[in-house]
Amino acid sequence: MLARLKQNFYLAMITLVGLMILLFVTPYGVYRILTGNMLVGIADLSIVLASSIAVLYAWRTNDTVRPGQFLALIFCIGLTVICTNLGVNGLFWVYPLMVFIFFLVSAKEAILLSLLLFLLLVGIDFLKPGQVFVNHYQMMSFLVTAFISSFFAFMFAYRTRVQNRELKHIASIDSLTGAGNRHTLNAQLDLAVQLKQKLNCHYGLILFDLDFFKLINDNYGHKVGDQTLVRLVPLISSLIRQSDRVFRFGGEEFIVLLRDIKPTDLLHLAEKIRKGVEQQLTLPDGKAVTLSAGLAMLAPDEDWEQWLHRADMALYQAKNNGRNQVIAA
């Protein structure tokens, strides 16, 4: 449970908001019902119920977008009911719930909902003076302070989202080459197997490594070896389709994962990569760098370990046959 919360920022936010609503709003809802303020009490408990449903849905489906939008909308409706019935006492709830909204939905959606809520409260007060605000001075004070609070909530939420995206990106790539790392590869292979079983998507895999890479390090130095790997990834990316992904499997081994591809096209693309590397990737003295590759299509009822093993066996055969070639499993 804690691992999921650490890995999924938005799930953590929805869970935290739901927990705080449950702990702090429930007592008010019960109290108001017991004291005869049924409408506001029902609104409070409806917010609690909606929050609980949203949290459970997010945990079951791992979808945090729709629960966040649902909660934000419920908060705005609930705040309108509470403020129009409690007046000044209800306005205090606007500040924390508006902060929550900026963490639950996108910045654009949060701004639109905030403006809609403010317009509703002001409009209701103009139609029924004294319903929400005691006087115009209080209304202006509320709007100014609510705007300032929303602005800083927006800035903090926006920066948090940007940092979260940056951290996820850093955690998903190989620091040297910029290719996807092993962790990301495993997740994509899992997804490929699921889509194969559910939708019969056609996936292909090319496993390759650079020939005699140890000799490159020994003869030219590790700096040249690293530079060769760094130059390799953009070269491979330029030779494959935009939908294909390149991952560093380990050392000088790389994997290209391809979706919606036929066996003949997979072989053609692997050969295109081999020729492209041989022609364009060279060492400081002009010698060509070559690679050997094993490729395999994902078979029905096959897990990704078996799929990868078949590609690895094909790569082993390519090396035994003299290297600088591709072999299909």
Annotated catalytic residues are 252
Q: Is 33 strand, coil or helix?
A: helix
Per the CB < 8 A criterion, the answer to whether 89 and 97 are in contact is no
Report the C-alpha gap between 300 and 159 in whole angstroms. 44
Burial class, 109, CB count within 10 angstroms (exposed 0-12 / middle 13-18 / buried 19+) = middle
CA dist 62 → 4, 57, 67, 74 (Å): 10, 8, 10, 20
Tokens linked to 35: 């004291």
Report the C-alpha gap between 173 and 102 in whole angstroms. 29
* CA nearest to 64, candidates 121, 12, 129: 12
* CA nearest to 92, candidates 145, 36, 23, 166: 145
